[in-house]
Amino acid sequence: HGKPDFGRLLRDFGDAVVPVAKCDLQEFNSHPKEWLPCREFLEYWREYAGNGHRSPRGCLYLKDWHLSREFPEQDVYTTPVYFSSDWLNEYWDAAGGDDFRFVYMGPKG
């Protein structure tokens, strides 16, 4: 229904530690990040949305999470057809070490 499946995210990734940007702050043209358990971020998201998109913690946004790399057994990434020659990830898959498959998600605002 156009909303995240919080139950599945909690079940499959709740214990993962994820990078979370503090959108209300800015340092050197970027938002500073903190690392939180995914479970804590999802709980924050639900509370934030249920409180009129306000929180004493400000607006947090999960950004640059390497979900595919951290959970290779999960089938979470498909290259869009227009980018089917995913040469950057093809290189890193062969070389090992890094990837450019990121997850970005968070509440409104």
Domain ranges of the chain: 6-105
d(CA 71, CA 24): 30
Give residue 12's Cα distance to chain centre.
14
Helix 6-13 / helix 38-50 crossing angle, nearest 10 deg: 160
Distance (Å, rounded) from C-alpha 38 to C-alpha 82?
Answer: 31
pTM for the whole structure: 0.84
Average pLDDT over residues 13-18: 97
pLDDT in tens, 61-77: 999 999 988 998 988 87
Q: What is the mean pLDDT of residues 39-44?
A: 96
